[in-house]
Amino acid sequence: MRFIFFTMVPFIKNKDVPVCKDCKFYKYSNFYDDYEGAKCGFFREKDIYNGEIFDKDLRAARMICGLNATYYIPK
């Protein structure tokens, strides 16, 4: 009887990819008290109506930064 060994070894996707919360530009949101409201301080936008500069939300910033976190700088 053949035994398939590779099914017993766990597979973790994106194991070696940098995590946003360990980045220098990561800003945690106390308002939401979770990671959903977190912001990225590297990617900023200026509001064309009032001139206010604000940080992009973390998910949108990671789409620009890429899977390998091109602009990642450890804390």
Q: What is the mean predicted confidence (pLDDT) over 32-43?
A: 81
Confidence band, pLDDT 50/70/90 cuts, at residue 41 = very high
Q: Is 47 a residue whose pLDDT tops 70?
A: yes
Q: What are the φ and ψ backbone dihedral angles of 65, each rounded to 5 degrees?
A: -65, -30
pTM (2 d.p.): 0.71
Predicted pLDDT of residue 14: 85
Q: How do the domains of the chain map onto residue ranges?
A: 41-75
Q: Is 8 a residue whose pLDDT tops 90?
A: no
Predicted pLDDT of residue 51: 93
Predicted pLDDT of residue 2: 60
Q: d(Cα 49, Cα 41) in Å, to the nearest integer?
A: 21
Q: d(Cα 65, Cα 58) in Å, to the nearest integer?
A: 10
